[in-house]
């Protein structure tokens, strides 16, 4: 019914020929015997969401990257569902479902609780909007107030999509997606794949191809430029390559990213670095001639990617993602910016500033220069600061300090940071090994480790060269002592001599000068402490 309403609203006749636009593609239903998807790779809960929607009379499919991965024989990490039901209709069918988002209103259907919970994201089919389509819908006298609200400022004069909350038919929903391999729909009930843009063929040819004219699509949403790089890096490991026509406008279109809000650019940068293909992403940026100019902080990452410390951090992040372990953006960014923090810290200490305030000031400067207010100076910035401030505290292994350190919430992140520093030779390997043992040791073992640390500290103190005092030359005859000339009492001759056992240091008396002054001889005697 919704599809018929939209068709009538847009003046459509039959699917695939609406408004004379050829880019909506022709619907193809590919059976299981052709696409070869293994049903056992499909998430059970995602299949249940599709089945529930279909039982209620709606269309529903697994969509996007999950279908692409299934076609490649991979088990997707995330499953998204697309339907012709509105968010309110979806919410009414599930006990634990929540409508989220402003620019894109979607529904999160939650299964399970605690750490075992799983979220299936359900979105409603959306209309493909360009300037002509936006004008036609907004100018239609039968357009509802809700549709007009969704259409208001939907597309700007340059063709950039500002709002995308207008429901539409499936063929238009497929067209508004970016790449052909991400625009297929899989019905786990009938096991049919619905394909409008030859995505199945491109998947078999391992080609990443933009739907429609690439330059126009990049203008509609400049973030697609970053997505093209991300998918090229991710799928490059599987032998995929960007179609030349899709890649050609990337560099020229890069200037469009200046129009994207900085907060969204910051998030997209993190996605590039945390999808498990950070090293490949940086190589792809260099290959495409886009190693600079996308985002200032990303420029720093690319610039330092070949340094031992940052390369180790990126490699470790890729490894953790590949093993299904969580990664924190604060840790990776702390690694990338440590060079700036460490340099500023050393410079301030060389200027006789106390180590801790020097470190705090260096951190503040780096936040101002490299990150600004994009992160809101919230949890991400607080976590980065804590990782950095822990580093000098790892050097202190006596007293109660180590026990308090291992109880801190961010200790593990701080230790992993120390571990990377040891791996590249910035700190001693023995220091990292000591903390590795201490954090998991029994109480008795911890006491042994503390004794070991105290012995090492004593050995270091003994190994330090002894600074000997150089005797001052005797003043010339008749010349006043240098300290006396400066108005200061010189050190007593015996002050530098070692004290015998049990001997207390001698007290030096200071004689007050009588009012009215005195002879120069008396003043000299007073200055000499006689």
A 10 A CB-CB count for 117 gives 10
Shared domain for 259 and 197, answered yes or no, is no
Element (H, E) at 446: helix 443-463
Q: For residue 428, what are its two tokens?
A: 């001693």
Q: Would you place residue 493 in the very low, low, confident or very high pLDDT band (cuts 50, 70, 90)?
A: very low
- Same domain for 284 and 359? no
Question: Which of 183, 204, 225 is where one domain is finished?
Answer: 204
Helices 308-322, 411-423: axis angle to 10 degrees equals 130
Domain boundary among 156, 177, 204: 204
Domain co-membership, 5 together with 15: yes
Torsion of CA 248, 275, 369, 310, to 10 degrees: -100
Q: What is the pLDDT of residues 343-392, one digit of tens each?
A: 999 999 999 999 999 999 999 999 988 887 665 557 888 999 999 999 99
User: Residue 67 in contact with residue 184, Cβ under 8 Å?
Assistant: yes
pLDDT band at 24 (very low <50, low <70, confident <90, very high): confident
From 69, 80, 195, 318, the catalytic residue: 80
Whether 288 is covered by a domain: the verdict is yes
Distance CA 161, CA 505 (A): 84
Q: Hey, what's the torsion of the CAs at 441, 446, 449, 450, to 10 degrees?
A: 150
Is 122:105 a contact under the CB 8 Å cutoff?
A: no
Whether 80 is catalytic is yes
Q: Is 513 helix (H, G, I), strand (E, B) or coil?
A: coil
- Mean pLDDT value across the chain: 81
Nearest to residue 275, comparing CAs of 229, 212, 310?
Answer: 229
- How crowded is the C-beta side of 245, counted as CA atoms within 13 Å? 10
The two tokens of residue 97 are 């479902």
Radius of gyration, CA atoms only, the chain: 35
* 23 confidence band (pLDDT: 50, 70, 90): low
Checking if the pLDDT of 314 tops 70, the result is yes
By CB neighbour count within 10 A (0-12 exposed, 13-18 middle, 19+ buried), where does 182 fall?
A: buried
Residues 348 and 404 in one domain: yes
pTM over 0.85: no
129: Cα separation from own chain's centroid: 32
Query: CA triplet 171, 160, 298: central angle to 5 degrees?
Result: 110
Residues 244 and 365 reside in one and the same domain: no
Instruction: Please report whether residue 100 resides in a domain.
Output: yes
> Taking residues 303-327, what's their average pLDDT?
94
The mean pLDDT value for 87-98 works out to 94
CATH of the domain at 456: 1.10.3090.10
Selection from 135, 132, 161 nearest residue 148 by Cα: 135
Last residue of a domain, one of 184, 204, 224: 204
pLDDT at position 373, please?
Answer: 66
Cβ–Cβ under 8 Å, residues 495 and 483: no
pLDDT tens digits, one per residue of 35-83: 999 999 999 999 999 999 999 999 999 999 999 999 999 999 899 999 9
Q: What is the CATH number of the domain that holds 72?
A: 3.30.460.10
Alpha helices in 288-354 (DSSP H): 296-304, 308-322, 329-350
238 or 19: which carries more pLDDT confidence? 238
Q: Is the dihedral of CA 283, 284, 290, 292 positive or negative?
A: negative
Question: Does an H or E element contain 278, and which?
Answer: helix 278-287
What is the share, in percent, of the chain residues with pLDDT greater than 70?
Answer: 75
Q: Is residue 399 part of a domain?
A: yes
pLDDT band at 130 (very low <50, low <70, confident <90, very high): low
Please state the domain count of the chain: 3
Pick from 470, 483, 403: nearest CA to 439: 403
d(CA 22, CA 212): 10
Q: Is residue 259 domain-shared with residue 276, that is, in the same domain?
A: yes
* Three-state DSSP class for residue 258: helix
Residue in 78, 365, 423, 483 annotated catalytic: 78
Give the mean pLDDT of 243-258: 95
pLDDT band at residue 279, thresholds of 50, 70 and 90?
very high
Question: According to the model, what pLDDT value does residue 445 have?
Answer: 93
Active site residue 447: no
Backbone angles phi, psi at 155, to 5 degrees: -135, 135
Question: Dihedral, CA atoms, 387, 319, 287, 222, nearest 10 degrees?
Answer: -70
In a domain, 156, yes or no: no
Residue 495, in any domain of the structure: no
Is 78 one of the catalytic residues?
yes
- Report yes or no on 515 lying in a domain: no
Which tokens is 280 given?
A: 């490949």
Query: 67 and 104: one domain?
Result: yes
Q: Are residues 87 and 196 in the same domain?
A: yes
Q: How far apart are CA 281 and CA 238, in angstroms?
A: 14
Say yes or no: 249 and 286 in one domain.
yes
- Average of per-residue pLDDT across 465-470: 58
Cα–Cα dist 1/169, whole Å: 11
Mean of pLDDT values over 382-407: 92
Q: Do 240 and 334 have their domain in common?
A: no
Position 492 in a domain = no
Residue among 41, 62, 65, 68 at smallest CA distance from 50: 62
pLDDT the model gives residue 474:
58
Quote the DSSP letter at residue 371: I
Q: Which of 43, 178, 195, 316 is catalytic?
A: 178
| More confident: 372 or 529 | 372
Instruction: Provide the token pair at 18.
Output: 């609406």
Tell me which residue range forms the domain holding 454: 329-461
- The rounded percent of the chain whose pLDDT value lies above 90 is 62
Residues 199 and 219 in one domain: no
Most confident option among 20-24, 377-381, 482-486: 377-381
Residue range 297-315: mean pLDDT, rounded: 96
- The average pLDDT across 206-212 equals 95
Distance CA(124)–CA(193), nearest Å, equals 18
| DSSP strands (E only) in 125-198 | 184-187, 192-195
Question: Per DSSP, what are the bridge partners of residue 123?
Answer: 82
* Of 272, 274, 321, nearest in space to 298 by CA: 272
In a domain, 132, yes or no: no
Q: Tell me phi and psi for residue 526, to 5 degrees.
A: -65, -40
Are 269 and 339 found together in one domain?
Answer: no
| pLDDT band of 399, cuts 50, 70, 90 | confident
- Furthest-apart CA pair in the chain: how many Å? 119
Q: Which of 511, 474, 473 is nearest to 489 (CA)?
A: 511
């Amino acid at each position: 019914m919704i599809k018929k309403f939209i068709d009538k609203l847009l003046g459509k006749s039959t699917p695939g020929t609406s408004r004379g636009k050829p880019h909506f593609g022709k619907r193809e239903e590919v059976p299981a015997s052709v696409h070869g998807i293994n049903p056992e790779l499909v998430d059970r809960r995602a299949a249940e969401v599709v089945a529930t929607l279909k039982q209620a009379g709606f269309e529903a499919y697994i969509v996007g990257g999950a279908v692409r991965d299934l076609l490649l024989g991979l088990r997707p990490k995330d499953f998204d569902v697309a339907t012709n039901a509105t968010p309110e209709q979806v919410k009414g069918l599930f006990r634990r479902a929540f409508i989220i988002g402003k620019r894109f209103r979607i529904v999160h259907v939650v299964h399970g609780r605690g750490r075992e919970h799983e979220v299936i994201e359900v979105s409603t089919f959306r209309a493909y909007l360009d300037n002509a389509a936006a004008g036609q819908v907004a100018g239609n006298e039968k357009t509802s107030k809700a549709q007009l609200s969704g259409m208001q400022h939907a597309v700007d004069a340059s063709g950039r999509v500002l709002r995308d909350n207008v429901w539409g038919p499936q063929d238009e929903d497929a067209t508004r997606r970016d790449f052909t391999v991400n625009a297929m729909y899989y019905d786990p009930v009938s096991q049919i794949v619905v394909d409008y843009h030859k995505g199945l063929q491109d998947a078999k040819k391992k080609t990443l191809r933009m739907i429609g004219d690439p330059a126009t699509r990049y203008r509609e949403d400049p973030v697609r430029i970053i997505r093209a790089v991300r998918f090229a890096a991710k799928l490059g490991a599987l032998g995929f390559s960007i179609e030349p026509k899709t890649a050609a406008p990337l560099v020229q279109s890069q200037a469009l990213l200046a129009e994207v809000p900085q907060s969204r650019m910051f998030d997209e940068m993190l996605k590039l670095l945390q999808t498990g293909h950070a090293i490949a992403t940086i190589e792809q940026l260099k290959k495409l001639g886009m190693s600079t100019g996308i985002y200032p902080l990303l420029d720093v990452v690319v610039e330092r990617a070949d340094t031992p410390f940052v390369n180790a951090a990126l490699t470790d992040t890729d490894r953790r993602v590949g093993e299904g372990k969580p990664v924190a953006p604060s840790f990776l960014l702390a690694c990338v910016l440590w060079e700036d923090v460490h340099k500023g810290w050393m410079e301030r200490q060389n200027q006789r500033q106390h180590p801790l305030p020097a470190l705090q000031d260096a951190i503040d400067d780096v936040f101002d220069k490299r990150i600004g207010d994009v992160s809101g100076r919230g949890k991400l910035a607080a976590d980065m600061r804590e990782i950095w401030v822990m580093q000098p505290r790892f050097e202190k292994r006596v007293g109660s300090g180590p026990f308090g350190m291992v109880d801190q919430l961010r200790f593990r992140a701080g230790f992993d940071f120390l571990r990377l520093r040891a791996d590249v030779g910035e700190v001693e390997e023995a220091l990292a090994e000591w903390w590795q043992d201490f954090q998991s040791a029994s109480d008795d073992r911890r006491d042994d480790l503390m004794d070991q640390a105290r012995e090492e500290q004593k050995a270091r103190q003994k190994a330090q060269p002894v600074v000997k005092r150089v005797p001052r030359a005797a003043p010339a005859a008749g010349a006043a002592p240098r300290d006396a000339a400066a108005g200061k009492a010189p050190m007593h001759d015996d002050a530098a001599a070692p004290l015998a056992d049990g001997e207390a240091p001698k007290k030096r008396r200071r004689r007050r000068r009588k009012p009215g002054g005195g002879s120069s001889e008396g003043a000299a005697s007073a200055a000499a402490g006689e």
